[in-house]
Structure 1
Amino acid sequence: MRTSPRTPSIITVTLLGSLLLAGCSATDRGTGASDAAGAISQDSVAQDAADGGPGLVGASVPDEDREVITTGDLTVVAPDPRAAVQAISELVETAGGRVESRAEHAGEDGQAFGSLTVRVPAVKVTATVDALDGIGEVQDVTLDAQDVTATAIDLDARIQALGTSVARLQTLMGEAATTADLLAAEKELTARQAELESLQSQRSSLTDRVDMSTLTIQVLSQDPEVTIRPAGFLGGLAAGWAALLVALNALVVAVGALLPWLVSAMLVLLVVRAALKALRARRPGAAPLAGPEGGASSPGDGGDGGGGDSDESAHLAGSGGRRG
């Protein structure tokens, strides 16, 4: 039997075609995981776009379904701050809340003060603030409400999209034909699960802040009572009497401060006066005089008698001369 020369060419072409088809099939399977992951990402983006964005959806939510975070700062003045801090802690726990921080201090002037940071159910914030009036005088109340409805809706949409993406990747891992496909799907699944857990943690924290409002309370000591004085004539009379008492008090204080100095000055004056008397008693005219013989003699003694007679004779002579 003679073989046709075209038979080897036909067989060769058939073999080459089979090899090309096998290579294309392997390439398609190798890129299947990546294409599926890309499709999932596109589906997530499309889902977010279909939701219309957080702003548009948040604006269409009814008021009763909106999510609001309420925070507040309060000041309570009480006669006993330590007892007031304890009473506020018990009040918060009774309302279903909790005390996150508590501090009590004693001031330099002996007056105590304290501070608390408490979490109260949002539906009981008003009732709790009103109940604080029974513990002390509530002052400087500041309440702030922040609407986070749009943020909550955005987180919910992203969590839902990532949940769908994780489910599809898990299905793809079960259908992977090769190790490369399995590793690619597992890597993408790990990243998506980490992002999903982060968003779920953010949503849980947001829900807690919405459900439980935060209040910061300062507890101060009550100031001493201030006496209100009447106006008019009685007010002037009371003011004058008070000024007189102040002046008398100042005078008494001044006298008390000067009294030791006055006593010391009197003593010095008495000593000086006694010294002056002693000096006057010892004047030269009162001291005894020495006679011609060196003895003591008085002015009337003979020692000075001659001198005295001579003076008297001279005086008489002078008088006689004038008479002649």
Structure 2
Amino acid sequence: MGGTGRRTTVLVAVAGVVTATVLLTGCGAGADRTASRSDSAAGGPAAAPDGGANQAGPAGAAEGADAAGKSGTTAADLRIGQRAIIYTGSMTVRVKQLDRAATELTSIVTGAGGFVGGDKRSSDSSDSTATLELRVPADRFAATLERIAGLGEPERRDISTRDATEETVDLDARIATQRARVDSGRRLLAQAKSLSDLVMLEGEVAKREADLASLEAKKRRLADLTALSTITVTLLGPDATPVVTVPEPGFLTGLKGGWAAFLAALGVLLTVLGALLPWIVALGVPGYLGYRLVRHRRRRSRPATPVVGAAAPTTD
């Protein structure tokens, strides 16, 4: 009886497994047929002809990229030719005739499409110098430096660049956001119902407009520095002394200055100590010996103090 019950249980289990397998197979086939019908209706891979892969090639990718660029935010162009580079240079040139060289320098700058932003000259015959601040287009920066070097004998040249591309992109984004905030504030101001709301919104709109004006001023300044490079030229006469350059601020410059000041102070201290040492030996040693002698005599001449609480001698 027990064997018959076990056989029945095994048969029931086998029948359940077979039934589950059949059901799962039918569901999988149905899902595949459904996916095929959906692909055919959508014009997907199942309905695409043999040339569909070619049609979705570079032309399709380009169209998708154009559509994405029109619908979304375009990324900043960070190629070398599109970067915002600020060029700054300085040069010291020794010339034979100072005034003539300054005139030629002005002609070089104006011929390159720039202008002279500052002109400072010293007419001392023994030490004649001229310092001119030039603004030239960025694409003429290197050529202008070479022409300036040809005016005489170059003694010093310093060129530096600063990449302001990220700063420019950040300013553009902040200006766009601030303009949207100003527009929304003005719309709220036009819908104000009470006097308190009107006063509050006027103050908020004025603050937003001031922030927008500040950002736009920074953008104009950055655009000016990017479009026009700055060159500071120092012209030296035949007998003029070289211009001493001031070191740029920084940690190493401060460390060098502090170490030099420490050595200078130590030298002064040692000098003073060396000057005072003979006096210390000549006066200090006899004074110290006299002090010890006086102190010793005082100790010997001081009377002995009786011991407090000592027992008096007894007499019989």
For normalisation by structure 1, the TM-score amounts to 0.48
Larger Rg: 1
**TM-score under structure 2 length normalisation:** 0.49
